[in-house]
Structure formats: structure tokens, C-alpha cells
Structure 1
Amino acid sequence: MTPEKIASLIENISFKQLISKQQVYERIFDFELQGRSIRWNVRLCFSLTFPFGLPHAKLLNEEYVGKIPHVNSKGLICVEEGDSILVDYHSPSEIIEAFLRQTLRVLDRSSLKVFKDELHDEVEGFIHGADTINSFYRASSLPEKLVLRIVPSRNLLAPYYVNPIALAKSASDIPYGFSNTQELNKHQLVNIVHIPLSVPVVPSTTNESSPRFISELKQQITEDNTKILIELLGKSPKKRRQFFVLLSMPRSSGERSEFICQFKSKTPELHPILTDRIDWQLKFFLVNRHNKEYLLERGGASLSMNNKTVAVVGCGSVGSEVAMLIAKSGVGAIKLIDGDSFDAENIYRHSLGGRYLNFKPSAKDRIVRKYSKVSALKSEIKTNIPHIHVDTFQYSLSDHNVKSIMRGVDIVIVAIGDPSISLLLNRSLKEHQLNNVIFCWNEPDSYGGHSIASNLNQVCLECILYKESDPSTSIHLVKFGQPISKNLTGCAGVFTPFSYLDSTKTASIAAQQAITFLTSGNMEPKVTSWKGIDKGTLQTTNRFESMALMEEISLTKNSKCRCCGSGN
């Protein structure tokens, strides 16, 4: 919308609390709004996307910046903190009026003393827009010595200044397999201290000098913590032109606000904790949290699964997708078991892509070797998820190794397309009392998929697959006894056709079943199946013809099962 059109809309807006309005620039307008007891001066800045996006609101009453919540250090007002505003781009004038009214409500509410605690809860929001530092540390109420990775400043007038880039309790607490964190090793490591405050202190604003903040900060360090900090700083502290500290403050939720404060001086000085000087030049940095507790809660994962271990047997199309989903659910450890290598023929239906195909010959014998599926999958998981332990076993699971591999495992997910091997594993897992098992696989040619959640004490895979008395109760969707495989290069290239989309459907069901068990502790025997489209290429079962697109069936023990029934 053009500036002229916006100006025309604003000219026609009128309501009781709107005292005056003035165009400052093309898309910038100032408004005077009468609140309950305060006359507010507010500036609205309209983006090029208006009316499809709301304007930004800035408080011009500088005396209230740092005194009321939902207004940051630059005066920007968090209008969305109140009731949501329904944006109807067909009525732009109504959008502007509704936004102004909402802004007024937020300011009036924020000015009440009863909401003062909200300002202390959003200290980090107050300095929103500041530079950020990646942090792998979670603050507590105790002082600690931390490590900070820094890079030299490009400021030629002050070459002794540096920029902080990463924070941790120790260098070993940074997960160097995650993303490109190994790049941090190229940069200098310095020690700093964490200063926990007993009561929140609002940082100084750009228009305010530092003495007020530093003075209040020191008042909120307990006597015991002051002693610990002096001890952490050492008996012979050096004078420097700058110091970094991590400040943390309590929030009403029980968590702590955290941000980095940089103290700068033109002349070398002792650490701010050790001197009475209060005229430091200050700069604040927001913390971009990478600690596990924050990432799990923020990402919708579960902290309760941090001590759980899941084994995935078979890391092909379905198994690799299951492993990635389980890893992002918050489990503490995953065991990957598969003896196959990753090849080019896998990339269109596997969670891994061409990045894990190797074309580089060995320096020793000049042979180009493939990556194993488990090692490639481990690398992918560790690169994308920072706080998880992954063990790999580049061989098939068997009766000889099942006990050692499965030690400490809470649930086993078998994602092998071969029913004969799955039945063999079913028997082996049952014999070793590894009872919480999920079996999942795709039907051929996108006809569907299944995931069986089973407590092998109650129902095993053989109970389900072999029901001699009533074949109509079979869970299968495609009839046995017909050719289902394809080959493109002869016998060496035989494969069962299905797509990556099929695998994601089956894997998501299996992952949800596993997560439900890990969080509830209850494994209710049931099979969940999804149905694809009948392409007419294969003969289907009665179940395929009658079932809905998704179906869940409770399972019961088969008295004639040779594995767990009377025939065992």
C-alpha cells in the first residue's frame, strides 16, 4: 500500500482516546493517545507489506522506557502480548484503529504497579535486538567460572577489543560434532564468571549512563556469592580494558534470565567485582540458548525421555526415518544396528542424501569405500541434534550378540522389511526378555504400511502373522504368493518398490508408538496400519478392501503361536 493511501486512511480514523496524529515521514506516523492516567506518545511504522502485516509501535515517552513491561530498550512495544488482533486486509483502516486501541490497552495495563514483575520477567526482551552469543550453559543460582570463545574486533581504533561468540561451562561441554561447532576451536578461549543476582535488575538503556545499573547490580549479589566470585577471580587478578560476565536473574517461573555484559574502559582496570568504579562503558549481548533443557522444551520434545535409550534395528528407508524422529523426541541415547552400506540407490527413499556417498579413494590402497548406514546416520543425527549419545553396530542383530547390544535399552524398534528375519528377531528378543518391541514395515508398491507395538510377554510377532484358523484376520494388505519385487540390473539389483513418502508415514506411526510407551510406561499391544491407493498392480486382501485410510487394531495372544503359545 502506498504512503499516500496509508495517510488517507489515518486521516479518517477517529475515536475518543485519539488526541492527535501527524505524519512524520512516508510510512511513519505519530499519535497522541489518552490513557487512564497517562498521555502516551506512540509512533507507528508501516512496512511495505501492510495491510498483510501489522505496523511496528514505538513508545516516544522515554521516561517510561525501562520502567514498564512489554517495552524494550529501544522503545518498541510488544503489542501482541495482549489479545490477538485478527488481520483482515480488506479493512485496512479497521486494522490501524484496532492496533492503536490494542497498543493503548497494553501501555495502560503495563503502567499499573501490579504488573511490575512482568518487567523483571522479560529482562531479555528488554534488550531485544542486541547482538547474540551462542551458549551451551544453563545458569543456576551459584557463581561459576565459565569459558568464552572470542574473536578479535575489526575496530582499528580499538584493536584490543574482542567480540564474544560462544559460552560454555568448559570447553568439553561444547558438542563439537554438532553443526559446525568445530570451527570454534580456531578462536581464543578466555575465562569469565557467572554472576547470579538475587533480584532482577533492568539493564541501562542507550540514553542512560551505566552507574545506576552497576550500582544496583552489586547490591543484588549476596555476601556469600561475592566471596565465591572473589575466589574465582584469583589472588592476583590482572587489570584489563574489558571484561565479560554472564549475568542471571530469577524469573517468576523458576527459570533465570541470562545475558552477557561487557564492561569496557579506556584504561586497564581491575574486574568490576573488585573495584568501586561504576562509570564503565557497557554493552549487552543476548544469549542464544543451546542447553538441552531449553532446546527440548522449546522444540516440543520431552525432558522425561532424557534418560531413555532406544535401539533401532535396520537403518534403511523406514528405520533411518524412525531414528531421526526418535532422536528429535528428546531421548538420551540411540543404538543403531545395521550391517549394510549406504549406496546411491538409497538416496531417493532414505532420510540420508548424497552427502553420504563417498567418491574419495583411500590413501592406503586407493579403493573407494562406502560409508556404512549406521555411521552415516550417526553423523547426521549428531550434526543436527547436540545432546544425544549414539552407538553404532555395523553388523546384523543375532542371537549371539543381542544380549550385549541391547543392554540398557528401554525399547527396540525393528524396521527390517524381511519378515523371516523379523520373526527370527522376535523369537530372540523374547527369549532374552526384551519385551517392549515395535515391528514396522511397508507394504510393496505404496499399498500401505504397518507398525506393531507389542509387549512380547502378551503378544509376539508370530502371534499376529500366523493365524492359521482364520486367514481373513491377517493384517496384510497385499496377498502372499505373487511377485512383488523388481530389478533394474539383474539379480544383483532386486528390490521391493515403495517410496520415501511411504516410509515417512510408517516411521511416524512407529515413532509415536515408541514415544507413547517411553512417556507412559505402558505398551498396549496394537497394530496401526495405513492404506495407500490400489494401483491395480497387485492383488489385495479383504482387509485392504474394507479398511479406512488409517486403522488401529488391538492385539491378543494366539493360542496356537509356536513362539509363545502352547507350541513353544
Structure 2
Amino acid sequence: MSRAPALQPPPIHVETLGHLQRSGLLAECQVVLPTPAAGRTGGPTGEASLSGYMTLGSYKFHLRVGLPLAFPLRLPELTVLSVEPQLELPHLVGDHQLCFESETNLLLDRRDPWGIVQESLARAREMLHRLITGGRAEEFAQEIVAYWATPARIRLDCDVDATERPHLTQILFSKQVPIAVADDPFAYGQSRRERRADDLARQNAIYIPIDPVAVDPEFDPRELMKPEGIRKYIRALPEADRREVARLLGHCTQRQELVVLGVKRPRGERARVGVWFPRVRGKHPLADELAQDLAIPVALRRRDLAFLAPRGGAGAELQKRQVLIVGCGAVGGHVALILARAGIGQISLVDPDSFELENTYRHVCGMAHVDLTKVQGLRQELQRLIPYVKVVPYEEEIENLLVRQPEVLAQHDLVISALGSPTVEMHLNERIWSSTKHPPAIFAWLEPLGIGGHVLATHVPKAEGFSRGCLECLYHRPVEEGPLENRAAFATPGINYTRDVLGCGSTYLPFADLDSLRTAEMAARFALRILHRQLEGAPLVSWKGDALAFEKVGYRATPRFDAISGPFSEEQVAHVRESCPVCAS
């Protein structure tokens, strides 16, 4: 086998490293160029790099400056190879790479690669100087989750509340293998695709809050990898907490034990790290002052709602909210997914129809659940994607549900209708207005061929009663004894815009998925404003699309469409009808 030729780094890498070698920022520099991976014919084992020494006070840091292949679009990678005299450092990840700057939203001047390296080394110098002159313990405590991940040999899901008092929690096992630790196994089960945890075996574990920086200004997290180190910080707890720890340890009597430590950080909430004792001999290692049991670091992957929801912009406060979605087609499917991602705790779905292949390109579920009812398919999709959302399916028409279970409206905080059936929706609108116990409602509907869409909020509470304006207000008879027409319509009333491909039962209203998504987004934003009690009145919002495709097939838009100059229109009172038999009575 022929030897692979030496890889040539990009010229900009060679030039930048040469500049660094001559700059004097590091001493005793040595450039290392990429080499072929052993036994392979291509691909470097690492980036072009330079190693050298940085002296700060009495410490000599041996650093490697690596330029990744994407440099200067990415930061240099600075690795601490060694420190003399030996010193344990925070802010090291992976193979002792110095975490000196987050690349999130970082803007680099790609035309000044040498400037990027200079600034990176300056920030690294500043960080290292801060760590050797004080504050190392605080930084260890602040970054203990990242530090703990490197030596951890076990990784568990975690849904443990980092309280200020010790408490029992539970280890959850699947086929005798620990997979999670949780205060409430049922709540943890809601984060699993199966939406259950009753198939998991359980064992007591203990959670202990500690404040290592307050106890020892020289705190080193390696102490927590030994039972005597943990006991040191337990002894520093208030007397009531020490007694509680001793009592709780009496409930942890297995041959394998887990301890969850809630480490107080200088900034932010307590961090959670785990310690596993695989071979307990006699008493619990934390109850025996002489115990030297083997302790294994455990990385805890947080799975609780309070941690997951805010990272995606969801609100944990919406977990107790219940929303009823009537119609699970194109618009309703998107609304359900958006609200689940927003953190809604329960979503009830009403629709008697089943998924068909024709729905593939206009539904959020695609062709994943063909022949399954829409409520069941959408339920599976929501529970596959989003934890901590309960989905209640109703495989029936809304009018039948209201007869069979008339209290269903009052059991929800909001009703959203995307039926696409004005007759049924006006019936639902009237039922909502029939009782002050009923929640606010949102009606969302599409126009054909991308010409637009509409969202109406109604039955929204105010200081006294409810704001006037409802779906019935929009419908009138311009000609006495003529048909009802929607005053918000963009497409000329009285024309059948549905298309027929295969005959009876195969008609559909032509629109694109982007149209349904746009309408669903408006409905979801209304929903969140209502649930946060930030929406007033009964606004009607319409988005205006491009009429080219609509007019190309010979259709004409209404004067309202032509009168709207921008892409959106929001009306607060113009659509309210004083003689409305529903909201004016």
C-alpha cells in the first residue's frame, strides 16, 4: 500500500501560524502540520497547529493553538497541554480545550485571520490570569456541569428539582440498567415517547444541596469524586439539613447507590451532578465517616420542563393551560404543533376524518399516518416530537361532541377552530357565546390559491363581560333573502372554488402548505396573547397574498382585497355588527 502524500494546509493557516511564531506571544514555538490518519488514504487527524509556552506569574502554560479547517470562519482551538507547577483548571472541555469564548452569534472578521488569533490569545491570557489570581473555585462551581462531563462514566436523564433542602428522589431502571433519576417518575414519563414510566423499576436516591465555594475558597470538584469529599460539604450544612440527610440516608440501603448534588453556583441556579457508588459495603458511604467506597462521576442530562421549555422560547407557565383545537387539517395541524412547542400542557383534538395520501403535501404529518384518524396521527406526532404535552383525541364532529359532552368547552382555556366549514363554525361560535363560563375562541380560515387567510378572536373577557365582535358579525345578506356572505372575504362570494379530481368525496380547496402555515402562525400568536391575558377586544387579522394565480384562472378578488395596501390588515371594531344576534344579545 502506498503512503498517502502529506496534506498541505491552506496557505492562510501556514501564514497565520508563521506570524504567530514570529510574534513573541508564545515562547518556544513549534508548528505542527496535519498528517494523514493512520491506515487511511485521506483526511487529517487534526488541524494545523502551533504549540508554545505562555508564562503568567509563577505558572508556565504549555498551549496548542489549532486552526480548524474552517478557520478563519471559526475560532482557533486553544488546548492546555500542561501547567507548571501542576494546576487543575476550570473552563476546559473535551481534551483540555480552553473554553475562552462562545461562538454563538460571534462575528469574526474573516479578512483578518491574524487579528482573530491575537484576540483569541488575549482573551485566553485574561481568563488564565483571572484563574490563577483568584476566583478559580467560583469558576469551578459555575462550570461544574461541563467539567463533570469529562470524567463521567455514566450518563442519566435527570428531572430532579434543585431545592434548598435535601430530599429523596428515585433512580429509574430499564432492564436493570439505570436510565434516569427523577423526583416524580410520572412527570418524567411525560417526557418519554411512551408517555409512561410504570414500566421502569425504581430505587431511592438522595439529593443534597451543597455550597462548596462558601465552605472552601480552594474548592476543587475532584473532591466530590470521593465519599470523604462529599461528607466534608455535608458537615458544613445547617444542623437541620445534616439531620435530614442522616434520616434520608436510612432510606437508601441498596448495594448500589446514587447521590445527586445540587452545587450552588455564583451565578444562576444550582447545578446538578451525580455520584454513583457501585459497590456499597455496609452503611451508605455518606453515613460512614470511614467509608472509602468507589465513587463514579455521573453526568446528568436535564430533561425537566423548566430547563427544556425556555431554551425553545416556550413558557413553563403554560403547562397548566388546556386548548381545544377543532379541525385537524392543514391549519389545525400546524396550530397544534406550534402550541405544543410553546409549552401548552394539554391539547384536545376534534376531527372525525382520517389521513389520506392526498394530505401528504398539505399537512404537518405528511404521509406518516395514512389511514389513521387525524386526531390519533397528530397525537402520535406531537408526542413523538414534544415532551410534557398531553393530547386528548376526540374522533367525532364538534357538533356531536357538544351534545355528548356539553361541558367540554368550559373545561378548556381556549378554543381554536380551523374547520373550513362556516356553517358548523357559526354554530360553535353561538355555543361559545351562550355561557359566560365558556373560554375565548379563535377562528382561522384560508382563501383559495394563496390569495389570503384570516384569524378572528372572539369572546375575549374584559373588565365587565366580553368584548363585542364574533364570527356571526362577519356574515350578512347584501341582497334581501339572498345567500349569506363573509364581509372579510378576499375571494368573490357565491363561487365554488373547490377542485374535483376523482369525483364525489375528493373535492378540496386549493392552497399551499405555506398558506396554511402562515394562517396557523397568526392563530397561534393570538392564542398565546389570549393565554397570557395580553389580547383585548375581538381583532380580525387578514393576510393578503399574491392574486396572480387566483386571477390567472379567471377569478376576481373582492373590493376589500383591493383596498388593503399592505400584506396585513387588523381590524378591531370595523367588523362588529350592532344587530348581531349572537354577541349583541
Shorter-chain TM-score tier: 0.7 to 0.9
Match of 2:427 in 1: 424
Counterpart of 1:482 in structure 2: which amino acid? I
Q: In structure 1, how many angstroms separate the alpha carbons of the residues matched to 2:208 and 2:262?
A: 6
**TM-score normalized by structure 1?**
0.84
Q: In structure 2, how many angstroms separate the alpha carbons of the residues matched to 1:225 and 1:138?
A: 16
Q: In structure 1, how many angstroms separate the alpha carbons of the residues matched to 2:126 and 2:324?
A: 53
Counterpart of 2:420 in structure 1: which amino acid? G
In structure 2, relative to structure 1, the CA distance for the partners of 1:176 and 1:525 (3 Å cut) is closer
Q: In structure 2, how many angstroms separate the alpha carbons of the residues matched to 1:460 and 1:212?
A: 69
Shift of 1:38: 5.6
Given the alignment, which residue of 101, 106, 117 partners 1:80? 101
Q: Secondary structure at the match of 1:245?
A: strand
Q: In structure 2, how many angstroms separate the alpha carbons of the residues matched to 1:333 and 1:62?
A: 58
Shift of 1:301: 0.7
Counterpart check, 1:12 vs 2:28:
no
Q: Which range is displaced more, 17-26 or 427-436?
A: 17-26
Please give the per-residue CA displacement for 1:314-364, whole angstroms capped at 9, x wherever unaligned.
11111111111111111222222222223322232112233322xxxxxxx
Given the alignment, which residue of 191, 201, 206 partners 1:193? 206
In structure 2, relative to structure 1, the CA distance for the partners of 1:381 and 1:244 (3 Å cut) is same
Please give the per-residue CA displacement for 1:405-447, whole angstroms capped at 9, x wherever unaligned.
1123222111111112111211111112335111101111221
Counterpart of 1:224 in structure 2: which amino acid? A
Match of 2:410 in 1: 407
After superposition, residues 75-474 of structure 1 pair within 5 angstroms as: 75-80=96-101, 86-113=107-134, 117-129=138-150, 130=152, 132-150=155-173, 164-175=178-189, 178-179=192-193, 189-199=202-212, 204-205=221-222, 210=226, 213-214=229-230, 216-234=232-250, 237=253, 240=255, 242-253=256-267, 255-264=269-278, 268-277=281-290, 279-357=292-370, 370-398=371-399, 400-401=403-404, 403-433=406-436, 434=438, 436-455=440-459, 457=466, 458-466=468-476, 468=478, 474=487
Q: In structure 1, how many angstroms separate the alpha carbons of the residues matched to 2:494 and 2:453?
A: 18
In structure 2, relative to structure 1, the CA distance for the partners of 1:83 and 1:246 (3 Å cut) is closer
Shift of 1:476: 1.4
Given the alignment, which residue of 488, 494, 498 partners 2:507? 494
Given the alignment, which residue of 61, 76, 98 partners 2:83? 61
Q: In structure 1, how many angstroms separate the alpha carbons of the residues matched to 2:343 and 2:76?
A: 38
Please give the per-residue CA displacement for 1:123-174, whole angstroms capped at 9, x wherever unaligned.
112224445321233232233333324579xxxxxxxxx8642222254333
The number of residue pairs the alignment matches comes to 538
Q: Secondary structure at the match of 1:479?
A: coil
In structure 2, relative to structure 1, the CA distance for the partners of 1:252 and 1:481 (3 Å cut) is same
Alignment check: 8 A CA contact 2:188 2:304 kept: no
In structure 2, relative to structure 1, the CA distance for the partners of 1:226 and 1:72 (3 Å cut) is farther
After superposition, residues 37-56 of structure 1 pair within 5 angstroms as: 40-56=61-77
Match of 1:554 in 2: 572
Q: In structure 2, how many angstroms separate the alpha carbons of the residues matched to 1:525 and 1:514?
A: 12
Alignment check: 8 A CA contact 1:530 1:551 kept: yes
Counterpart of 1:553 in structure 2: which amino acid? E
Counterpart of 1:232 in structure 2: which amino acid? L
Q: Secondary structure at the match of 1:48?
A: coil
Alignment check: 8 A CA contact 1:309 1:335 kept: yes
Q: Which range is displaced more, 272-281 or 484-493?
A: 272-281
Q: In structure 2, how many angstroms separate the alpha carbons of the residues matched to 1:320 and 1:544?
A: 27
What is the Cα-based RMSD across aligned positions, in Å?
A: 3.4
- Give identity over the alignment, percent: 25
In structure 2, relative to structure 1, the CA distance for the partners of 1:329 and 1:270 (3 Å cut) is same
Structure 1 residues without counterparts, runs of 5 or longer: 153-161, 358-369
In structure 2, relative to structure 1, the CA distance for the partners of 1:401 and 1:468 (3 Å cut) is farther
Counterpart of 1:146 in structure 2: which amino acid? T
Q: Secondary structure at the match of 1:386?
A: coil
Match of 2:43 in 1: none
In structure 2, relative to structure 1, the CA distance for the partners of 1:288 and 1:111 (3 Å cut) is same
Structure 2 residues without counterparts, runs of 5 or longer: 1-6, 35-47, 461-465
Q: Secondary structure at the match of 1:334?
A: strand
In structure 2, relative to structure 1, the CA distance for the partners of 1:56 and 1:325 (3 Å cut) is same
Q: Which range is displaced more, 83-92 or 40-49?
A: 83-92
Counterpart of 1:539 in structure 2: which amino acid? R
Match of 1:366 in 2: none
Q: In structure 2, how many angstroms separate the alpha carbons of the residues matched to 1:220 and 1:7?
A: 54
Q: Secondary structure at the match of 1:134?
A: strand
Match of 1:362 in 2: none
Shift of 1:377: 1.8
Match of 2:530 in 1: 517
Given the alignment, which residue of 520, 529, 532 partners 2:542? 529
